[in-house]
Amino acid sequence: MESLMHTFRKFCKSFANSFLLVVFSCLSHLSSLKGDLAYNYRGPRTKDDIIEFANRVAGPLIRPLPSQHMFEHVRKRHRVFFVYVGGESPLKEKYIEVASELIVYTYFFSASEDMLPEYLTLPELPAVVVFKDGTYFVYDEYEDGDLSSWINRERFQGYLTVDGFTLYELGDTGKLVAIAVIDDKNSSVEHTRLKSIIQEVARDYRDHFHRDFQFGHMDGNDYINSLLMDDLTIPTIVVLNTSNQQYFLPDRHIENTEDMVQFINNILDGTAEAQGGDGVLQRIKRIVYDAKSTVVSVFKSSPLLGCFLFGLPLGVISIMCYGICTADTDGGVDEHEAVKKENSDRELTDDGSEEEKEEEKNGKYAELSDGELKQKDLLEKKKD
């Protein structure tokens, strides 16, 4: 009986999670209310990510770490998290302010120095530390600038599996994104080699490039092709500027880490050619490309539906155009006949006027003849 109840509870919990996932996935924007603040969720529509977002926002902004045991538990559970170390200070006030804005993305903790592991050495207190990639990095106001900008840049791991949602979030960091576009299911040497090169640069050259670049790989080229409006053959490497939709492609084959470092340096010093952008021509090209892609995808997925969706409107438009053209032609014929009839009436009117003039003329001649006859009669009478 207990086993049956346990199975039933497990089923109900699984059903509830699945139901929430379906409901959340149908919404264009998910949000959570906390006091007077509303947090919008813009991450992947998966059950784990949505539940993680809800748990993160529902808890306190700054979670305390009362012991080293708790710190180790947090370090194992979270791939990226931030810790404020020290007492009350203006830096802590700024830290709380930033946490209220970025709690939707990452976790924020606070601890005293003796609650942290011995291997962690801080140059001064108070301090803000980010733990990720198996190590830690300390915030330096002089080198890293504003705390909010630094946390926004550092909330990602050094190397990521990139998708559409990740690229959208990376747009807020101002970083260029260096991606190895590969096929994860393809275990050939070329695919694994490019992925390894990006991973080595992200790990070994962090101090050189982490402020300007984010590294990762993308599985498949469908999304990247639609983003660049181009057909990239995989495997390949592309560097994206998500702020203005520009991208960079290497002018020669990337053979090793040194080639990749040289390519990145060329981008930084401006010698690498930028393609794409958000100019007027690119926007027009984007509209045409999106329309073409939509039509092609519809016909590929369902030819009959494509014929109905595009054939019916075209048929209606053709009938309307034919009706308009036919109406104009009939109107022109009627107008021509009306003009012709009007001219005929004018001719008849002119002919009638001429006949009247002739009659008047003949009448005058007739009147003159009668007068002459009268004069002749008078002359004859005088003679008599």
Which pLDDT score is estimated for 267? 92
Which pLDDT score is estimated for 23? 44
Which pLDDT score is estimated for 83? 94
- Per-residue pLDDT, averaged over 263-287, amounts to 82
- 63-64 β-sheet, strand order: 63-64, 107-111, 81-85, 127-132, 135-138
Q: Report helix angle 257-268 to 189-204, nearest 10.
A: 60
Percent of the chain at pLDDT > 70 equals 65
Q: For 50-84, how does the pLDDT look when each residue is reduced to its tens digit (9 = 90+)?
A: 766 666 666 688 899 988 889 989 898 889 999 99
Picking from 15-19, 327-331, 360-364, which range would have the lowest pLDDT averaged per residue?
Answer: 15-19
Closest C-alpha to 25, from 165, 154, 140, 195: 165
Question: What confidence tier does 284 reach under pLDDT thresholds 50, 70, 90?
Answer: confident
Contact 129, 185 (CB under 8 A): no
Q: For 18-50, how does the pLDDT look when each residue is reduced to its tens digit (9 = 90+)?
A: 444 444 444 444 544 455 556 665 665 666 667
Examine domains 60-154 and 158-278 and report if their fold is the same.
yes
Picking from 8-12, 96-100, 123-127, 271-275, which range would have the lowest pLDDT averaged per residue?
Answer: 8-12
pLDDT at 376 over 70: no
pTM beyond cutoff 0.85: no
Cα separation, 166 vs 90, whole angstroms: 32
pLDDT at 384 over 60: no
pLDDT top residue among 120 and 13: 120
Question: What confidence tier does 130 reach under pLDDT thresholds 50, 70, 90?
Answer: very high
Percent of the chain at pLDDT > 90 equals 17
Q: Report helix angle 303-383 to 280-301, nearest 10.
A: 110
The two three-digit tokens of residue 125, written as one number:
């207190």
pLDDT top residue among 128 and 316: 128
Picking from 37-46, 279-288, 303-312, which range would have the lowest pLDDT averaged per residue?
Answer: 37-46
Tell me the domain boundaries of the chain. Answer: 60-154, 158-278, 279-311
353 — phi, psi (to 5°)? -65, -40
Closest C-alpha to 159, from 221, 222, 209, 101: 209
How many CB atoms lie under 10 A from the CB of residue 209? Answer: 20
Cα separation, 259 vs 288, whole angstroms: 36
DSSP string, 32-93: EEETTEEEEE-S---HHHHHHHHHHHHS-SSEE--SHHHHHHHHHH-SSEEEEESSS-HHHH
The two three-digit tokens of residue 365, written as one number:
């001649």
pLDDT top residue among 140 and 287: 140
pLDDT top residue among 100 and 293: 100
How many CB atoms lie under 10 A from the CB of residue 32? Answer: 16
Report the top-level CATH class of 60-154. Answer: alpha beta
Determine the CATH number of domain 158-278. Answer: 3.40.30.10
In terms of DSSP H, where are the helices of the chain?
2-26, 47-58, 68-77, 90-102, 141-144, 147-154, 164-170, 189-204, 206-209, 222-228, 257-268, 280-301, 303-383
Residues in the chain: 384
Question: What confidence tier does 17 reach under pLDDT thresholds 50, 70, 90?
Answer: very low
Closest C-alpha to 71, from 127, 125, 110, 121: 110
100 — phi, psi (to 5°)? -65, -25
How many CB atoms lie under 10 A from the CB of residue 79? Answer: 13
Q: For 97-121, how does the pLDDT look when each residue is reduced to its tens digit (9 = 90+)?
A: 998 888 888 889 999 888 888 888 8
pLDDT at 140 over 80: yes
pLDDT top residue among 59 and 260: 260
pLDDT at 149 over 80: yes
pLDDT at 7 over 90: no
pLDDT at 94 over 80: yes
- Computed over every residue of the chain, the mean pLDDT equals 76
The two three-digit tokens of residue 57, written as one number:
């926002």
- Per-residue pLDDT, averaged over 246-251, amounts to 88
Cβ neighbors of 289 (< 8 A, separation 6 or more) are: 226, 229
Cα separation, 213 vs 267, whole angstroms: 11
What pairing do the DSSP bridges indicate for beta strands 159-161 and 135-138? unpaired
| DSSP helix/strand/coil, 123 | coil
Cβ neighbors of 191 (< 8 A, separation 6 or more) are: 182, 183, 234, 235
- Per-residue pLDDT, averaged over 7-18, amounts to 48
Question: What confidence tier does 345 reach under pLDDT thresholds 50, 70, 90?
Answer: low
Question: What confidence tier does 287 reach under pLDDT thresholds 50, 70, 90?
Answer: confident
Closest C-alpha to 264, from 383, 176, 364, 134: 176
| DSSP helix/strand/coil, 160 | strand
pLDDT at 12 over 70: no
